[in-house]
Amino acid sequence: NHDFSGEDSHEYYSTTLTVKGDVRFPLTLTVDSLKKMRTIGLDSFNIVCQSGAVTDKTVKSRGVLLKDILEKASIAQTSHKDRNFYIVAKGNDGYMATFSWAELFNNPTGENTYVTYEEDGLPIKEKGAMILNCTNDIKTGPRHVVWLSSIEVNRVK
Ligand SMILES: Nc1nc2c(c(=O)[nH]1)N[C@H]1C(S)=C(S)[C@@H](COP(=O)(O)O)O[C@H]1N2
Ligand SMILES: [Mo]
């Protein structure tokens, strides 16, 4: 597990989230830009490691759907059948989690994958300004990306 005690001075802390790769409109988002989008409240949930260990329990948080962020950036689909993309969310320490176009845009997972920026009504500190969370994963730990700093869209080749 991690020492998140450095709070917002932590070496991995990032105040911006870049959205890049196969998109029409690359973005650099901040907490303020997320607040201008459609925001959704999340109930508390457990963070469960791949090992099964419960490593944390979140408090009530607020975020934006990853899908809404990708719609704003506009994935550069060239045709109806051009939908084999993978989306990599990366933390400032290099940690990564991967999503597919189909699970975000054609599956309930899309309604359960958020970039959160607020906990108990306050800015997130210990784990970065923004965190990626997928609340319907069986083990929520692997795709709980703290110190979130980039989202990259890639076409499968
Ligand atoms: N940026 C980043 N996010 C990360 C990790 C990491 O090393 N770096 N570890 C992951 C793992 S393996 C788990 S189980 C959970 C643990 O989250 P917690 O320490 O907040 O309970 O965070 C995940 N997110
Ligand atoms: Mo883990």
Over residues 97-109, mean pLDDT: 98
Atom 13 (ligand 1): residue with closest C-alpha?
Answer: 141
* Predicted confidence (pLDDT) at residue 25 exceeds the cutoff of 60: yes
* Predicted confidence (pLDDT) at residue 96 exceeds the cutoff of 90: yes
Atom 6 (ligand 1): residue with closest C-alpha?
Answer: 95
CA distance 145 to 17: 12
Closest atom of ligand 1 to CA, residue 12:
1
> Which pTM value belongs to this model?
0.95
| Of 36, 44, 41, 155, nearest in space to 100 by CA | 155
Q: Is 91 in the pocket of ligand 1 (CB under 6 A)?
A: yes
Q: What are phi and psi of 135, to 5 degrees?
A: -80, -15
Q: Is 144 in the pocket of ligand 1 (CB under 6 A)?
A: yes
Q: Is 141 in the pocket of ligand 1 (CB under 6 A)?
A: yes
> How many other CB atoms sit within 10 Å of the CB of residue 114?
24
Instruction: Name the residue with higher pLDDT: 5 or 115.
Output: 115
Q: In this structure, which amino acid lies at residue 115? A: V
- Nearest bound ligand to CA 150? 1
Q: Is 137 in the pocket of ligand 1 (CB under 6 A)?
A: no
Mean per-residue pLDDT of the chain: 95
Q: In this structure, which amino acid lies at residue 13? A: Y
CA distance 83 to 81: 6
DSSP state of 8: G
Q: How close are the terminal C-alpha atoms of the chain, in Å?
A: 35
Share of the chain above pLDDT 70, in %: 94
* Predicted confidence (pLDDT) at residue 3 exceeds the cutoff of 60: no
Confidence of residue 7 (pLDDT cuts 50, 70, 90): low
* Predicted confidence (pLDDT) at residue 6 exceeds the cutoff of 80: no
- Nearest bound ligand to CA 119? 1
The Å distance, Cα 141 to ligand 1 centre, comes to 6
CA distance 147 to 132: 9
Confidence of residue 26 (pLDDT cuts 50, 70, 90): very high
Ligand 1 pocket mutation, candidates 144, 145, 148, criterion most atoms within 8 A of CB: 144
Confidence of residue 10 (pLDDT cuts 50, 70, 90): confident
